[in-house]
Amino acid sequence: MTQTTYRDALRRALLDAMEADGSVILMGEEVGLYGGAYGVTKGLLDRFGSDRVIDTPISEPAIIGAAIGAAMTGLRPVAELMYVDFAGMVMDQLANQAAKSRYMFGGQISVPMVLRTQGGTGRSAAAQHSQSLEAWMMHTPGLRLAMPGTVSDAYHLLRDAMRQPDPVVFIEHKGLYTMKGEISDAPDALWGQPAIRRQGGDLTIATYSRMLQETLTAAEALAPDIEVEIVDLRCLNPLDDGPLMDSVRRTGRCLIVTEAVTTGSVASEIAARVTEQCFDWLEEPPLRLGGEDIPIPVSPALERASIPDAALIEQVARWLVIREAPSWAA
């Protein structure tokens, strides 16, 4: 296995895919000369040339529209949307064209494209550049959605995304780019399946993206008093929820941890599924722990307070399992 950063794992995935398949192209604002907003595509222009690494005008609808057209005509474009916050500008192209074309044309046309973007907090980028909008994508039939929380998944999930026959929204987290880890020789789980990151019998925590790392830290602090099983959802569409339900049936408790606002969230969907499928096994109702229902503040202190962290996850887990009162309830 190779030690690298999350950012370099993504770059390696793009490089390997472009070397293996001449139909893979990159396009987006500053993906070429500048190397991408967060440096993921640095060096790829020199390697593959401007025919395959295309700097576009500053027009998100044009980028995604062109990517859809390229995918329909036989290419495999990877389009970079600088921030997931700009998804509102491209939802017509994404939700009404990319997601629906294969169904509308009876399978005669497919749209095998990847929309690479990043979201989340951690850089004091404020309300318009710090959101977690994955629920928009998960709600749209025809779109696939992946959100890697490890270095190895950054590589393997992106490689898998570039092989799919349908459009994939691939959301990276801006707070993970410098995280170091190893790229395993094989994926931790198949496309669409969650990965069990830690085994335990007292509580199941379902999570993904950067919250996986916060949850792993919390689980270490909870042991041995409370043994947590961590289910990394990884792919939110398609989502094979079987391993999660098996875990909840063993532990009897489920906490869903996300960075996105809690109302109408991925956490709400997971809580509903757990309730429907595991009701007879539950010792407690499933609990959501997500971001505050507010625009993300620019203040670093307020930004940190608006989302869960390891300390909060630990306190909520203790309350859920052993009814230990959290500090804010004193």
Residues in the chain: 330
One-letter amino acid for residue 279 of the chain: F
- Which CA distances in Å does 202 have to 17, 57, 74, 214? 41, 52, 50, 18
pLDDT, residue 330, reads 53
What per-residue confidence (pLDDT) applies to 192?
A: 94
Domain at 195-324: CATH code: 3.40.50.920
Question: Tens of pLDDT along 247-256?
Answer: 999 999 999 9
Q: Establish whether 129 is a catalytic residue.
A: yes
Question: Residue 328 pLDDT more than 70?
Answer: no
pLDDT in tens, 279-300: 999 999 999 999 999 999 999 9
How do residues 195-228 score in pLDDT, each as one tens digit?
999 999 999 999 999 999 999 999 999 999 999 9
Q: Of 261, 149, 157, which Cα lies nearest the Cα of 206?
A: 149
> Which CATH number is 2-183 given?
3.40.50.970
Q: What average pLDDT does the segment 4-21 reach?
A: 98
Residue 253's Cβ-count burial label (10 Å; 0-12, 13-18, 19+) is buried
Residue 2 scores a pLDDT above 80: no
Return the domain boundaries, the chain: 2-183, 195-324
- Phi/psi for 223 (5° steps) reads -75, 145
Same fold: 2-183 with 195-324: yes
The three-point CA angle 201-306-92 to 5° equals 95
Work out the average pLDDT over 150-164: 97
Q: Assess whether pLDDT exceeds 80 at residue 325.
A: no
Q: CA separation (Å) from 124 to 40, 83, 209, 302?
A: 21, 14, 19, 9
What mean pLDDT, rounded, does the chain reach?
A: 95
Question: Which pLDDT band, with edges at 50, 70 and 90, does 329 fall under?
Answer: low
What is the rounded radius of gyration, in angstroms, for the C-alpha atoms of the chain? Answer: 20
